[in-house]
Amino acid sequence: MAAIPSSACRAVLAVLALGAAALVPGRADADIYTYTDAQGNVHVASKPGPSSGGKLDKISSTTSSKPKRGTALLPVMPSDKSPERLGRYDSHIREASRLYRIPEELVRAVIKCESDFDPRAVSPTGAQGLMQLMPPTALRMQVRDSFDPRENILGGTRYLRVLANMFSGNLELTVAGYNAGENAVMRYQGIPPYEETQGYVACVVGHYRTFKAAKLVAAAAH
């Protein structure tokens, strides 16, 4: 089993935790509930409760966003390889980052590792679009068209928000949950011992740190 990240790594995404972190249910088949409040923030709980006027959604923790093993890291048959694609979705990334309080660099890193910024990408297992949403995950995140770049980015970032709340802002566990599903991370109490998931975490975290470093360099230059 992969080791839980150090406190230094956990601090990188401390900003991801909104208030007190929701408790992870002890049962592997427990239900998870989320609701979006009037400010657009997503909250996670192990049982239904007052939604403060927001919409209450039930999420089964047994549903994974991705297959656990045996799939390629990158989707098949990418069609968009133009250099311009790397900045084409900046406005959507910024919007999703502000709405769900996830760093822009993390959203960008997930897109890079999932689809290499190709909005028409489809994986061998049916994951779709920029952030490679599986149809059940897209439905959970209220995405109507996974091939619409804005909808896909908002839906994928919302799922990152749910996972970040669930795993107390832990960067590596949040990323592992995005690939293997939250249930697998809870079952193994860490990064699941799947070759694909471990490679995926390394890909996303590596690009995330690269994008953050580039942002700091650009800021210093100004």
pLDDT digits (tens, 9 = 90+) for 90-101: 999 999 999 999
Torsion angle of alpha carbons 169, 63, 114, 156, nearest 10°? -60
Return the pLDDT at 21. Answer: 34
Return the pLDDT at 218. Answer: 86
User: Span 195-199, mean pLDDT?
Assistant: 97
CB 166 within 8 A of CB 24: yes
pLDDT of 115 above 80? yes
CA distances from 171 to 20, 60, 91, 149 (A): 16, 22, 23, 24
Strand locations in the chain, DSSP E? 31-36, 42-45, 55-60
d(CA 67, CA 95): 28
Burial of 134: CB neighbours in 10 Å, binned 0-12, 13-18, 19+? buried
Q: Where are the domains of the chain?
A: 7-26+64-221
Classified by CATH at the fold level, domain 7-26+64-221 comes out as Lysozyme (1.10.530)
Structure tokens at 86: 């790397």
Active site (catalytic) residues: 114
pLDDT digits (tens, 9 = 90+) for 150-159: 999 999 999 9
Query: Sorting pLDDT into bands at 50, 70 and 90, what band is 142?
Result: very high
